[in-house]
Amino acid sequence: MKLTVLTENVAGRNCLAEFGLSYLIDADKKILFDTGNSDVFIINAARLKVSLNDADMVVLSHGHWDHGNGLKYFGNKTLLTHPGSFQKRYNKKENRYIGLDSSFEELKEKYRIITSSVPFQISPEITFLGEIPRENDFEANQTYFTLEDGSDDFVMDDSALMVKTHDGLVVITGCAHAGICNTVDYACKVAGTDKVLAVFGGFHLKSDNEITHRTIEYFKQKGISRVYPSHCTAFPALTAFSREYKIFQVLTGDFFYF
């Protein structure tokens, strides 16, 4: 399996960067996972000489602007996401709109949309996890977001991809609003195995605090050897991870093999 970083917060190689996330995942199917917030993913793919035209499917991890606003620059593909991804949502503190700037109806003109709140098997190797149960006592307990009606938005549409490899599962997240440990646990439950090779993507950890420490301890107990926190994982949390894992900044244009 190969993962190409098309959009990330920090630039690498000869690529552009923006606050957003987009990966191209090449296993037994080729999946475009998220599209960032602009056409940067397309520009970077061209600079890397990576073809997006032969992607089998686009998967949207959740309905936030920095993961899905790039959808309007692409199309003529199947788009898979949770049905809640198209809600109007806001940042509590600033009352700033943070949802997708394209509606379901607009995107339906460009994509064949499949929505699923339960695990959806894309191929023998790749599964979209659907809605992720939040079962532990330390993740996803508070939110900075609201829905259009003013109610708390816990981003229940947050999902992830699980890829089966010979050496174990690779779990790929957009932002892990459901909690990165909850996400890995659910991937293991869906796959029927506890063997996890790698976890890659946004972990939504902001501080060098108890939640981050419990996450690191969970990864160690799980025997996960390859950890790639990126995007919405803030510097203090990255520092905490660096004390236990050999991590480095994920950059646009990077390639990873599993």
Res 248: pLDDT: 85
C-beta of residue 156 within 8 angstroms of C-beta of residue 131: yes
- Sequence-ordered strand ranges (E) for 1-150: 2-7, 22-26, 30-33, 57-59, 77-81, 89-91, 96-97, 111-115, 120-121, 126-128, 145-147
Q: Name residues of the chain where pLDDT drops below 70.
A: none
Which strand (E) or helix (H) includes residue 215? helix 210-222
Which pLDDT value is given to residue 50?
Answer: 96
Alpha carbon distance 230, 173 (integer Å):
10
**CATH fold label, 2-257:** Metallo-beta-lactamase; Chain A (3.60.15)
> What's the whole-model pTM score?
0.97
**33 beta partners:** 23, 59
Judged by DSSP in three states, 239 sits in helix
Number of other residues whose CB lies within 10 A of the CB of residue 91: 13
Q: What is the b/e burial string over 196-234, where b = at least 16 CB atoms within 10 angstroms of the residue's CB?
A: bbbbbbbbbbeebeebbeebbebbeebebebbbbbbbbe
The pLDDT assigned to 121 comes to: 98
Contact residues for 241 (Cβ-Cβ < 8 A; gap 6+): 212, 216, 227, 229, 233, 247
Taking the domains of the chain in order of start, what are their residue ranges? 2-257
Distances (CA, A) of 7 to 40, 42, 45, 169, 181: 7, 9, 9, 23, 24
- Tell me how crowded residue 84 is: count the other CB atoms within 10 A of its CB: 19
Q: What are phi and psi of 256, to 5 degrees?
A: -135, 140
What is the reported pLDDT for 105? 97
- The residue whose two tokens read 């646009």 is 252
